[in-house]
Amino acid sequence: MKNKKEIFASIIVIGNEILSGRTQDTNTSTLSIWLNSLGIKVQEVRTIPDLENIIIETVNELRKKYNYVFTTGGIGPTHDDITASTISKAFNLKYGPHKEAMALLEKYYKPGEFNEGRQKMAWMPENADLILNPTSGAPGFNVENVFCLPGVPSILKSMLGGIAHKLVGGEPIISQTINLRTVESEISKSLSNVQENNKDVDIGSYPFFRAGRLGVAIVLRSAEQNKIDKCNLEIIKFVKEKNIEIVEKD
C-alpha cells in the first residue's frame, strides 16, 4: 500500500551501567532493525541514568512527540530498578502489585522461590498491559504508547514478538548497502548530487577499516524498492566513472 502515514518511535536506554561503559548497549540496534521491519522509523535515542526526575521528564517529552516510545532497562528486582514506579508517576497512575503479573510469576517460580525481591518485578502501573517474557518469566509492560522492556539483550529480543500486534506501522523500511574501496572525501560531492536527486531516500556514508584497508559503506533506506533501485544506479554510475572498486554489494 502506498502513501501510508509515517510512523515514528524513540528509544530511551535507562541505566547507569550503560553511561559508565560497563555494559554495552546492543538493544538500540535490535529494536531499530525490528521496528524498521514493521514500518516504524526510529527518530531519536536517548541514554539516561537511573534518576526518577530525568526518566519522568524524558518519557513525558517523547511520548507526546512520537507515535511510540520504547524504554530498555530498570525493570528487574534490584533497588536501582525504578522504571516501573517512575512510569507510574509519569502517567499519574497508582503503582503496586499487578494482579496478572503476580499470578504469572507465582506459577513461574517453585514454591518458596517467589520472594520479596522477585515480587517487585510484578509491581507496575495500575492497569498496565503486560508484555509476556518467554525467557525468564518476568513481564514487561506498556501504558498507552510507552513500552517498557528489560535491559538484558537476549530477554528483550525474545519479547518483541509479543508486542508486534500492538503496533501499527507504515511501509516497512528497505535497506541496501554498497561497500566501496575509497574515502568519503572522494565521493562526497557525487553522493550529495545523488541525494539531491533522490530526496525520498535516506543516504548515509560510513567509513570502515577492513583487512588493513579503508573503505566507505553507502547505506540506502526507503520504503520503496524502486526508489532505492534508481538511487543505486546513479551511485554505480559515478563509482564506475571514478574507477572505484566495489568491495561487496547487498
- Of 167, 109, 95, 112, nearest to 138 by C-alpha is 109
pTM of the predicted model as reported, rounded to 2 decimal places: 0.78
For range 58-79, the mean pLDDT: 93
Residues 45, 160, single domain; the answer is yes
* pLDDT at 99 (0 to 100): 92
Residue 129 lies in a domain: yes
Residues 64, 160, single domain; the answer is yes
Final residue in a domain of this structure, among 98, 132, 166: 166
> Looking at residue 27, which CATH number applies to its domain?
3.40.980.10
Residues 154, 192, single domain; the answer is no
For range 134-152, the mean pLDDT: 93
For range 61-90, the mean pLDDT: 93
For range 108-131, the mean pLDDT: 90
> Looking at residue 243, which CATH number applies to its domain?
3.30.70.1130
Residues 141, 200, single domain; the answer is no
* pLDDT at 74 (0 to 100): 87
For range 39-63, the mean pLDDT: 95
For range 157-174, the mean pLDDT: 88
Residues 41, 107, single domain; the answer is yes
Residue 144 lies in a domain: yes
- pLDDT higher than 80, residue 175: yes
* pLDDT at 3 (0 to 100): 44
Cell 517467589 identifies what position? 114
Q: Mean of the per-residue pLDDT values for the chain?
A: 90
- H or E segment and range at residue 87: helix 83-90
Say which residues have a Cβ less than 8 Å from residue 51's Cβ, sequence separation at least 6.
none
* pLDDT at 93 (0 to 100): 96
- H or E segment and range at residue 31: helix 27-37
Final residue in a domain of this structure, among 112, 138, 166: 166
Number of domains forming the structure of the chain = 2
Residues 201, 78, single domain; the answer is no
232-246 pLDDT, tens digit per residue, is: 999 999 999 999 999
- pLDDT higher than 70, residue 2: no
Final residue in a domain of this structure, among 120, 142, 166: 166
Residue 199 lies in a domain: yes
Residue 243 lies in a domain: yes
The pLDDT confidence band at residue 247, using thresholds 50, 70 and 90, is confident
For range 30-41, the mean pLDDT: 92
Residue 2 lies in a domain: no
Residue 128 lies in a domain: yes
- pLDDT higher than 60, residue 124: yes
Residues 74, 142, single domain; the answer is yes
Residues 113, 135, single domain; the answer is yes
Question: Whole domain around residue 180: which residue ranges?
Answer: 174-249
Residue 1 lies in a domain: no
- Burial code of 97-124, b = ≥16 C-beta within 10 A, e = fewer? ebeebeebbeeeeeeeebeeebbbbbbb
Give, as one character, the DSSP assignment of residue 73. S
Residues 118, 211, single domain; the answer is no
Say which residues have a Cβ less than 8 Å from residue 216's Cβ, sequence separation at least 6.
179, 180, 182, 183, 184, 187, 205, 206, 207, 208
For range 210-216, the mean pLDDT: 81
Residues 65, 181, single domain; the answer is no
Residue 145 lies in a domain: yes
- pLDDT higher than 70, residue 1: no
Residues 134, 234, single domain; the answer is no
7-17 pLDDT, tens digit per residue, is: 999 999 999 99
Q: In the structure grid, which three cell numbers stand for residue 36, read together? A: 524498521
* pLDDT at 171 (0 to 100): 77
130-140 pLDDT, tens digit per residue, is: 999 988 888 99
Residues 72, 113, single domain; the answer is yes
Q: Please tell me which residue, 79 or 225, carries the higher pLDDT value.
A: 225
